Amino acid sequence: MRKGAILVAILAVSGCGGGDDASLSKEEYLQELRLVCNEGEQARQTLIQNISRDYYEHHAQRPTDQYQANNILKLIHTYQGTTEMIAAIGLPEGEEQQVEKFIRTREEAAAKIEANPLGTRDNLQALLLVPEEEAEALGVGDCDS
């Protein structure tokens, strides 16, 4: 049993993220990116379901600004978690600058929203549009979570 635990630990450490020396092909990168984006989407959908349930059970009469801000922050923290996972993949060979720009635009959009959740509430989609366009330019399609 101890050997199994050690093997699992070794696989977990060696399989996480892109190594400093290991280059990914664009296909390998896109495959990893799609997986991360799908995980982010699942996390976002779960969070939205939980927020919706809470809203209808406790706040449907009159959600406060603070309640709305907290929920926006929860969503953006999920988005930031996905961004961190994307950064951990590594950089695909020949696409380094484009991927770095993609990650940077995600980070910048999240920072704007986090700094003023209520002020950005009405234009969240617009703020997340540029990173979404960057994802499409990479060839991954939808990665807005």
**Which residues are within 8 A (CB) of 82 and not within 5 positions of it... i.e. 6 or more apart?**
36, 37, 39, 40, 43, 143, 145
User: What's the confidence (pLDDT) of residue 18?
Assistant: 42
User: What's the confidence (pLDDT) of residue 22?
Assistant: 61
Is there a contact between 65 and 117 (Cβ–Cβ < 8 Å)?
no
Is there a contact between 18 and 91 (Cβ–Cβ < 8 Å)?
yes
User: What's the confidence (pLDDT) of residue 7?
Assistant: 31
- Expressed in angstroms, the distance from the first to the final Cα of the chain is 38
User: What's the confidence (pLDDT) of residue 92?
Assistant: 93
Is there a contact between 110 and 86 (Cβ–Cβ < 8 Å)?
no
**Mean pLDDT, the chain cut into blocks of 10 residues (145 residues total):** 34 39 83 95 96 87 89 96 96 92 96 96 91 88 82
**Domain edges within the chain:** 2-138
Query: What is this structure's pTM?
Result: 0.80
